[in-house]
């Protein structure tokens, strides 16, 4: 909800507990940690690390969605707080997330919604406690900041996927179960849902564009483009080296997508990755004289010697996959497919 107008700047702060920063962080990547797969009857901690939903009934709706999946719900202590576009103070939002990881009765953590504010709490997170208590952390959009920072500093595989305050389509539920419940590998991620074609009918909405072919393997990193770009130069910046970078966004005009991809390229990050997967760039404002989103994505990745694909079901769409940040995957630029090569869970 007007997320792009709220993201202005991020202030890097020292990590709590003496975690490595800067060049030291580049040399000290923590060991990969896999949380437990989800099972019926587990308790899900519900938190809102960024913005809140408009009304309390929307929170109760989100809890009903989680319960409908077969789980119990534990509310964050400050779940009902609101302070303008934030779900309460930075300290309270961070305290809720820290408490869910510290609580042995909580099996996984789902985010109520995105919005804006996750990056503000990164210096306040207890990364040692999170590392000592690996659990599924699920969310997307602004939650991208948490997913990547926590993975970077704890090694925990985190999950870019649906928020609690949304109904799951059949496709979303299938992808959710495939990654977080059944958790087998190899499995395809984000392939468009089947289309009922016929004479005079062809898929238009969910098409795969292959910008550059070839195959690449690497651990997944990324999420919302605005948040990934905003983390550059901070202690929470993702490690791009040899990774498969996935990106999506919403309400961003082509020139702003251009600007953020240019920032990533000027910083040398796009030259470090093994492959690039563009998900959905929805509600892009193209009313003025402008390049198309396709032109921008093609231009800003031109000359890279890695496979580049656009169109997987990642982002602000109803039919949405779950992407494990930190898990090993293969990108096939010729087939236009992304395959999870290992189970991200134990």
Q: Which residues are catalytic?
A: 141, 248, 316
Report how far apart, in Å, the C-alpha atoms of 82 and of each of 42, 50, 87, 305 are: 28, 10, 4, 46
CA distance 123 to 11: 10
Phi, psi of 308 (to 5 degrees): -135, 125
Ranges of H-type helices in the chain: 3-6, 22-27, 56-68, 90-102, 127-132, 144-154, 170-176, 225-230, 254-266, 293-300
Task: Using alpha carbons, select from 131, 107, 163, 110 the residue that is nearest to residue 19.
Answer: 131
CB 231 within 8 A of CB 119: yes
Cα-based torsion angle of the residue sequence 37, 38, 42, 44 in order, rounded to the nearest 10 degrees: 100
Task: Using alpha carbons, select from 192, 162, 155, 154 the residue that is nearest to residue 179.
Answer: 162
CA distance 334 to 25: 35
CA distance 326 to 117: 23
């Amino acid at each position: 909800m007007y997320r792009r107008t709220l993201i202005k700047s991020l202030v890097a702060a020292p990590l709590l507990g003496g975690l490595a920063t800067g060049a030291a962080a580049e040399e000290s990547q923590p060991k990969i940690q896999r949380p437990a797969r989800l099972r019926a009857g587990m308790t899900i901690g519900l938190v809102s690390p960024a913005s809140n939903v408009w009304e309390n009934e929307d929170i109760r709706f989100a809890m009903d969605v989680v319960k409908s999946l077969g789980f119990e719900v534990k509310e964050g202590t400050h779940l009902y707080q609101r302070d303008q576009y934030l779900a309460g103070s930075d300290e309270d939002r961070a305290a809720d997330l820290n408490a869910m990881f510290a609580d042995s009765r909580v099996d996984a953590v789902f985010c109520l919604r995105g919005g804006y504010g996750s990056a503000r709490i990164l210096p306040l997170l207890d990364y040692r406690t999170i590392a000592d208590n690996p659990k599924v952390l699920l969310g997307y959009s602004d939650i991208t900041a948490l997913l990547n920072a926590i993975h970077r500093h704890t090694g925990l595989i985190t999950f870019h996927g649906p928020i609690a305050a949304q109904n799951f389509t059949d496709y979303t539920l299938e992808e959710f179960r495939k990654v977080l419940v059944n958790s087998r590998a190899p499995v395809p991620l984000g392939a468009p849902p089947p289309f009922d074609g016929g004479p005079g009918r062809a898929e238009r909405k969910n098409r795969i564009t292959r910008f550059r072919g070839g195959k690449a393997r690497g651990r997944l990193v990324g999420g919302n483009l605005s948040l990934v770009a905003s983390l550059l130069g901070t202690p929470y910046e993702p490690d791009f080296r040899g990774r498969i970078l996935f990106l999506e966004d919403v309400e961003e005009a082509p020139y702003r997508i251009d600007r953020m991809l240019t920032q990533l390229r000027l910083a040398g990050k796009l030259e470090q990755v093994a492959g690039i997967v563009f998900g959905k760039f929805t509600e892009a404002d193209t009313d003025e004289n402008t390049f198309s989103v396709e032109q921008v994505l093609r231009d800003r990745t031109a000359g890279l010697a890695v496979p580049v694909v656009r169109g997987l079901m990642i982002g602000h769409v109803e039919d949405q996959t779950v992407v494990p940040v930190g898990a090993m995957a293969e990108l096939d630029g010729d087939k236009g497919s992304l395959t999870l090569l290992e189970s991200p869970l134990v």
